[in-house]
Amino acid sequence: MKLYNSKITGVGIGIAKRVIDNNFFEKIVETSDEWIRSRSGIIERRFVDKDESTIDVALDAARQAIKNSNTDVLDIDLIIFATTTADYVCPPSVGMAQDALGAKNAAGFDLNAGCSGLVYAIITANQYIATGNYKKILVIGAEAISKFLNFKDRSTCILFGDGASAVIMERNDNENSEGIIAFDLGLDGSGYEYIIRYAGGSRIPITKEMIDQDKHWLTMQGKAVFKFAVSVVPQTIKKVLENTKYSLKDVDMIIPHQANNRIIDSVAKQLELPSEKFYTNIQKYGNTAAASVGIALKEAIDDGKVKKGDLVILVGFGTGLTYATCLMRI
């Protein structure tokens, strides 16, 4: 069976409108602007309004990606919607997205791989295209994490922001153009409780008792997640290059999940790469989970840091504990 290669032909982002700077948190938890900056690199982040949700920023990103790729929505075969903060537990968010976009010929499903979500979804889309069954796929990574933050918990509330990113992926019929070259997926399920919302699923339904115990909010064991990330990210970046003709010196830019500048600095040091090789925008948006890699990719392109023909690595890591890495020619 002939296997097809795929490529990204359009990128879009949806940014929540409310700008929340570090001073906001000084009034509600024991922290300071300097403390947050020094430990995370975050200066501000965006929150959706009270009457907005994940689907709102997702649609902004999707429409921009569709426009930037000159795609007719009726040509979209499949939509993959990566999120940890779906509007509803049931039904999946992808149905709302398909209906709002008018992509009536597209199948679709939600994908929950935490902060690795967009990269997981890109790799999944690549596999669907490889078989020849689909030619054009819309991938969305979107979050409204502010809706699930405990603003009494300094370890989480200062870190996260809301936003979305989307890409159009198409069959690459140009044999001289590489597109998606290689990927690596991973999971360490022993750390599933390191980033978790306990209440709201079938194991612990939301009740008044659970709400009184703050079990419906996002919780995180930051030190454990940090240890996981600084260990696994250098490994997966090296692994994705193993069976290719490329080495780290050939890579033009690495777009990592925007979780913490200290994680990115540690990875750069371990790989013996200059910090300029890693694109970061966490200072503006905080950790937007499944949206972060795509937002960074779009801004890297807009800033001229990533150009057509560049060799780029996308790497996500987080909730699950998942990780996903993709090597591609832009």
The residues annotated as belonging to the active site are 115, 257, 287
What is the Cα 219 distance to its own chain's centre?
19
Considering only CA atoms, which of 168, 147, 152 is closest in space to residue 8? Answer: 168
Amino acid at 41: G
Bridge-partner residues for 195, per DSSP? Answer: 220
Q: What angle do CA 238, 297, 291 make, to 5 degrees?
A: 95
User: 90 is written with which tokens?
Assistant: 């049931």
Within 8 A by CB and 6+ apart from 174, the residues are: none
Going edge to edge, which strands form the sheet with 78-82?
5-15, 163-172, 136-143, 78-82, 107-111
CB-CB contact of 168 with 62 (8 Å) = no
Q: What angle do CA 53, 303, 139 make, to 5 degrees?
A: 40
Beta strands 136-143 and 163-172 are antiparallel
Using the structure block, give the residue that is written with the tokens 């990330």: 229
CB-CB contact of 147 with 300 (8 Å) = no
Query: CA 31 to CA 54: how far, in whole Å?
Result: 28
The alpha carbon dihedral of 307, 308, 310, 313 has a sign of: positive
Considering only CA atoms, which of 279, 274, 325 is closest in space to residue 299? Answer: 279
